[in-house]
């Protein structure tokens, strides 16, 4: 443990195909883990009724002198990956555990096996699941009814290629016992020659795809896109994809951890001395074989993507700006420069959540060329 953060080791890029994948922890090092387990046992997977009394929270929100109106920041959870590195430390000054290849920083998450915990202020120590189940109206406003906070925010450091994989659409996920997952990538930094693998170069049949897997030539059928900082792509469920080496990405996704691997570059996991498991049969049922040459997102002004899951905008913050209208929450991720909201500050690679009823809603640039991603959930 370093700086109060977890470091966890799992054998997956994102998940085992089982619907209840559990990562294997090196250590559960969070000082609050005992209370967290009790909280999860009490609230796991159950949408709680809104409490009839949350006087302390409500009074604090409406008290302009209270720090509770300030944005909520969370402790990141670091995930060790065989393809990861140390770039989260060099680029974003995150306090990584020593001598570990950290591939993912889970910044905001509400899952049974991974919980974001508020890092400071009057709500310090509360989990995201507690906020979602006990204080939903005050913190999140009017949002879709779901058992857990419906999004998951990560930063990915791909020093090596990830496996070629796919996530299931809703109808297939229910049949396979997994969770549907669509996601968005924003390229924060990319080495020269870095690329993403998304969709197919040309329409392909299932038989031809399986033949390519057997021969080890399947990647010849996959569409490659050269990327640089500032590029973004949307990955609907069913789109075959892989992250190329040398990419540092922000990932915004459905709250799901179901991934099916089809090809892993014939690598040997140094931790086990064996090849990682593939999930070809499950993946075949999910892949959209007519998904040909998808493109990077072409922004419409500030708007990058808007669908039923999330709306993501990129703001170049030259002047103070309201994060979202009152009674609507928003999440901000600093990309460049620095910004503040109330007493809270954000540096590149940091996130915070502006509560729906917070009176401190102005995002203020603290440096030239400040930019951010602003994320909301459409209602």
Read off the pLDDT of residues 203-256 as tens digits, 9 standing for 90 and up.
Answer: 999 999 999 999 999 999 999 999 999 999 999 999 999 999 999 999 999 999
Q: Are 157 and 85 in contact (CB under 8 A)?
A: yes
Beta bridge partners of residue 115, listed in sequence order:
110
The two structure tokens encoding residue 356:
């729906």
pLDDT value, residue 8: 53
What's this model's pTM, rounded to 2 decimal places?
A: 0.85
Share of the chain above pLDDT 70, in %: 82
Q: Catalytic residue at 374?
A: no
Residue 25, H or E segment = strand 24-25
What tokens does 284 get? Answer: 């075949």
Assess contact for 79 and 131: CB atoms under 8 A: no
Structure tokens at 342: 């109330």
Catalytic residue among 261, 313, 361, 374: 261
Q: Mean pLDDT for each consecutive 10-residue tract of the chain (379 residues)?
A: 44 40 32 38 38 45 53 97 97 96 98 96 95 96 96 98 98 96 98 98 96 95 98 98 98 97 91 91 97 98 98 98 97 98 96 96 97 96
Give the E-state strand segments of 143-301 in sequence order.
151-158, 164-166, 183-190, 195-200, 222-226, 232-235, 241-243, 247-254, 260-263
d(CA 297, CA 107): 23
Residue that the structure tokens 């009394």 belong to: 53
- What was the pLDDT predicted at 341? 97
Q: Name the DSSP class of 2.
A: B
Answer for the pair 135, 57: CB distance below 8 angstroms, yes or no: yes
DSSP 281-310: HHHHHH--TT-BS------BTTEEEESSS-
Task: Give CA–CA dist 270/272, Å, rounded.
Answer: 6
Do 131 and 61 contact (CB within 8 A), yes or no? Answer: no
8 A C-beta contact, residue 122 and residue 365? no
Report in angstroms the alpha-carbon separations of 77 from 12, 32, 127, 216, 354. Answer: 16, 13, 13, 35, 20
């Amino acid at each position: 443990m370093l700086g109060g953060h977890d470091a966890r080791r799992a054998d997956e890029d994102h998940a085992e195909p089982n619907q209840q994948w559990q990562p294997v922890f090196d250590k559960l090092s969070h000082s609050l883990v005992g209370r967290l387990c009790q909280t999860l046992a009490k609230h796991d997977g159950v949408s709680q009724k809104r409490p009839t009394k949350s006087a302390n929270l409500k009074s604090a929100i409406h008290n302009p002198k209270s720090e509770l109106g300030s944005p909520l920041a969370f402790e990141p959870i670091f995930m060790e990956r065989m393809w990861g590195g140390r770039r989260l430390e060099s680029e974003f000054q995150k306090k990584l555990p020593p001598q570990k290849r950290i591939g993912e920083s889970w910044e905001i998450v509400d899952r049974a096996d991974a919980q974001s915990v508020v890092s400071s202020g009057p709500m310090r120590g509360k989990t995201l699941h507690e906020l979602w189940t006990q204080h939903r109206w005050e913190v999140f406003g009017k949002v879709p009814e779901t058992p857990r906070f419906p999004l998951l925010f990560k930063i990915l450091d791909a020093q090596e290629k990830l496996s070629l994989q796919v996530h299931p659409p809703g109808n297939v996920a229910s049949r396979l016992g997994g969770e549907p997952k669509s996601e968005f990538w924003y390229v924060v930094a990319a080495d020269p020659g870095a690329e993403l693998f998304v969709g197919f170069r040309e329409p392909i049949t299932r038989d031809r795809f399986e033949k390519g897997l057997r021969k080890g030539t399947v990647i010849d059928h996959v569409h490659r896109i050269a990327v640089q900082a500032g590029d973004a792509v949307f990955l609907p469920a069913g789109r075959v994809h892989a992250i190329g080496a040398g990419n540092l990405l922000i990932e915004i996704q459905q709250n799901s951890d179901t991934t099916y691997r089809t090809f892993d570059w014939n690598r040997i996991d140094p931790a086990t001395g064996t090849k990682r498991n593939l999930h070809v049969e499950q993946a075949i049922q999910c892949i959209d074989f007519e998904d040909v040459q998808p493109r990077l997102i072409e922004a419409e002004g500030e708007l990058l993507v808007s669908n039923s899951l999330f709306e993501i905008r990129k703001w170049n913050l030259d002047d103070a700006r309201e994060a979202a209208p009152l009674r609507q929450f928003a999440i901000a991720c600093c990309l460049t420069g620095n910004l503040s909201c109330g007493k809270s500050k954000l540096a590149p690679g940091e996130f915070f959540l502006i509560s729906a009823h917070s009176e401190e809603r102005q995002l203020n640039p603290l440096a030239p060329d400040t930019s951010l991603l602003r994320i909301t959930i459409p209602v």
